Amino acid sequence: MSEMQVRGRQRRMADQVDAVLRASRALIGIAASSLAGVDDVVTVPQWRVLVLVHTRGPVNMATVAAELAVNPSNASRTCDRLTRAGLLDRRDSEADRRHVTLSLTAAGRRLVQKVTRQRRAAIQQVLAAMSATERDTLAEALEMFAAAAGEVPDGLLVDGLWPPAP
C-alpha cells in the first residue's frame, strides 16, 4: 500500500471518528435532557447501575464495579444509595451466599422506563427528519457499532454472570 493510500485511509478514519463524535454529542444531549427530570433522584453513575441491572437482569457487585470501572467499595456505596432510595434490591445470591444479587425494584423499573420513554420520543423526533432508507442504514450501522463496543441488547442476560442453580 502506498503512503498516499495510507494517508487517505487515515483521513477517512478521522472523518468517520468526527462523524461519530458529532452523533454522540446529539445523543448525549438527548440523554442529559432525559435525566434532567430525575437528577434529584439519581446521579449519572447511579443511572448507569439502574440501566445495567435493567438490561442484564440481576447482577452481582463485581459486575457493577467492572462496568462502572470503579473499585468494589465505590460500586457498593452507589448500590447502597440506590437501595436506600427504593430503586434497587440487594439479596444474598441463592447460588453463593458470599455474593449479593442486585435487581430493580418496581420503582426502579418505573424510573428506567420513564426516562427511556423520554429518550425514545426525542430520538423518534430526530429520526422523523430522515428518510426511511436513511433510518434503516443508521439503525444497521448503530447496531454494528454497539456490538463492536460490547453493548448487550436490552433484556439479554450475560452468560456466566451467575452459575446455574444446582
Q: Is residue 115 part of a domain?
A: yes
Give the whole-angstrom CA distance, residue 11 versus residue 17: 10
Q: Is residue 141 part of a domain?
A: yes
Mean pLDDT of 130-144: 95
Beta strands 100-104; 88-92: pairing state: antiparallel
> Residue 24 is part of a domain; what is its CATH number?
1.10.10.10
Q: Give the per-residue pLDDT at 98.
A: 72
Q: Give the per-residue pLDDT at 48.
A: 92
Q: Is residue 25 part of a domain?
A: yes
pLDDT value at 163 more than 60: no
pLDDT value at 93 more than 90: no
Q: Is residue 122 part of a domain?
A: yes
Q: Bridge-partner residues for 102, per DSSP?
A: 59, 90
pTM for the model: 0.74
3-state DSSP call for residue 101? strand
Q: Give the per-residue pLDDT at 154.
A: 57
Q: Show contacts of 3-7: CB within 8 Å, 24+ apart.
A: none
Q: Bridge-partner residues for 90, per DSSP?
A: 102
**CA-wise closest residue to 102 among 144, 61, 153:** 61
Number of domains the chain contains = 1
Residue 128 belongs to domain spanning: 3-148
Q: Give the per-residue pLDDT at 162.
A: 33
Mean pLDDT of 127-150: 94
Q: Give the per-residue pLDDT at 64.
A: 93
Q: Is residue 157 part of a domain?
A: no
pLDDT value at 107 more than 50: yes
Average pLDDT, the chain: 87
Q: Give the per-residue pLDDT at 40.
A: 81
Beta strands 59-60; 100-104: pairing state: antiparallel
Q: Is residue 156 part of a domain?
A: no
Which pLDDT tens digit goes with each residue over 31-84?
Answer: 988 888 887 889 889 999 999 999 888 899 999 999 889 999 999 999 999 999
Q: How far apart are the first and last CA of the chain?
A: 57
